[in-house]
Structure 1
Amino acid sequence: MRKLPWVRRMAAVASLGDEKRRQLFELVSASGVPVGRDDAALALGMARSTASFHLDRLVADGLLAVEFHKPAGKAGPGSGRPAKMYRTAESEVGASVPDRNYDLAGELMATAIEHSAAAGEPVRESLLAAASRKGRALAAESASLEEFLAEEGYHPEPDGKGGFILANCPFHRLADGHPEVVCAMNGAFLGGAAAGCGESEDRVAGNSVPGQCCARITAP
């Protein structure tokens, strides 16, 4: 599953800055079952309309999900409409400034270690293969390589030669401490992404400009 765009993830986290929404989110998160508007309003001493407004805002922000259930103990005709219930969303929402994607790095490294242990292949080779496959799979959903780069937080900017510089590195802290491993993983990921967008993997080249990603995208 693709992560939400950075702007939406920031908005979701900022949404919890409202005290009422934060209280409702904590109430639903701590409950072992979906929570209805009436129960939430009663538990927190809010008006039902206020609780309903903030619960639906949390749904819109991707922090809660909705289910519909018949009232307990009632079934069949005349039992009433299903009640709207709230539970925590299955997907996690995380945001950082600048935009980073350490979850992806962790996923790729865990996948590589598992494959290396099972197949007896070097971890580095397994990591590059996993990164390439992931890039190809994710980019297949994008309309263009530039769109993919923007969605993944690379902040592509035209270089004036038909290519792009990548102004942000989603793996910055890891790359700073382990450049040989992380930059190779990043290059394989971007190469796979280029292929997923129908572009040549050769468009991905190295970049040593301080403050930018370790890769750049050359002209077609």
Structure 2
Amino acid sequence: MFVDTPEEVRDADVSAIASLDEPTRRRLYDHVVRQSAPVSRDEAAAAIGLARKTAAFHLDRLADESLLDVVYERRSGRSGPGAGRPAKLYRRSAKEVAVSLPDRRYELAGRLLAQAVEESDATGEPVRAVLHRKAEELGTQLGEQNRTDLFELLERYGFEPRHEDDAIVLGNCPFHALAREHTQTVCGMNLHLLRGVLGGIDETGTEARPAPGPGHCCVRLQPTA
């Protein structure tokens, strides 16, 4: 089975968002996503004031970019012989498209924080202790699922690693805005996440240590003392 690389996924998302820079295509996209039911080419063309052929071209381009889904329905309400061909209809895609430069992973942080609050509420265990445990468990899973080069794994999740002497400095924090406003909570979560990654990938010669400073992530990976 072939799996898209992070670069391929990012390139596809950039292409999808760039396609909306064309004004007519953006108007068609905005019209379709505002509707409660799938929209035909004729309906979209009439609503925007376009030729049907022009509307069809742009709708298909939006579908090619995974911004719209294509479905086929018989609008007559009839079925069987004589009911006619199903109409090609368009609706908002279920796929989420996002591009962030530098790379940010706020959804991952949000899930960990929500899990920690819920489990703490249910068990009485301090939220921060639960958060650290959940982050390390997730990091372990990521490492076990991606038993490959550590540097490649860090790049995949947006840390922008670079070698400095015998250490790995992380040039980007995927949780930057959260870490800036909630430093102790988020940097602690990140530290345990990366400790889990090292354990999961079985990188026994490297450890994650707090190393806050401007221009890089608050965690540094360095040879085990």
Give TM-score scaled by structure 2 length.
0.81
> What 5-or-longer segments of structure 1 have no aligned partner?
none
Q: After superposing the two structures, state which structure 1 stretch, 186-195 or 115-124, moved more.
A: 186-195
1:116 is displaced (CA, Å) by 0.6
1:120 is displaced (CA, Å) by 1.0
Aligned with 1:157 (options 159, 162, 175): 162
1:171 is displaced (CA, Å) by 1.0
1:59 aligns with 2:101: no
Contact 1:195 1:201 in 2 (8 A): no
Letter in 1 for 2:92: T
What is residue 118 of structure 1 aligned with on the other side? 122
1:19 aligns with 2:19: no
Specify the SS of the correspondent of 1:158: strand
Aligned with 2:138 (options 125, 134, 137): 134
Contact 1:208 1:214 in 2 (8 A): yes
Change (3 A) 1:7 1:202: same
1:113 is displaced (CA, Å) by 0.6
Identity of aligned residues (%): 42
Q: Give RMSD over aligned pairs.
A: 2.9
Give TM-score scaled by structure 1 length.
0.82
1:141 is displaced (CA, Å) by 4.8
Q: After superposing the two structures, state which structure 1 stretch, 68-77 or 198-207, moved more.
A: 198-207
Q: After superposing the two structures, state which structure 1 stretch, 129-138 or 40-49, moved more.
A: 129-138
Contact 2:206 2:223 in 1 (8 A): no
> What 5-or-longer segments of structure 2 have no aligned partner?
none
What is residue 87 of structure 2 aligned with on the other side? 83
1:8 aligns with 2:12: yes
Contact 1:71 1:80 in 2 (8 A): no
Contact 1:116 1:126 in 2 (8 A): yes
1:46 aligns with 2:46: no
Q: Look at both structures and tell me which one has the larger radius of gyration over its CA atoms.
A: 2
Specify the SS of the correspondent of 2:79: coil
Change (3 A) 1:74 1:185: same
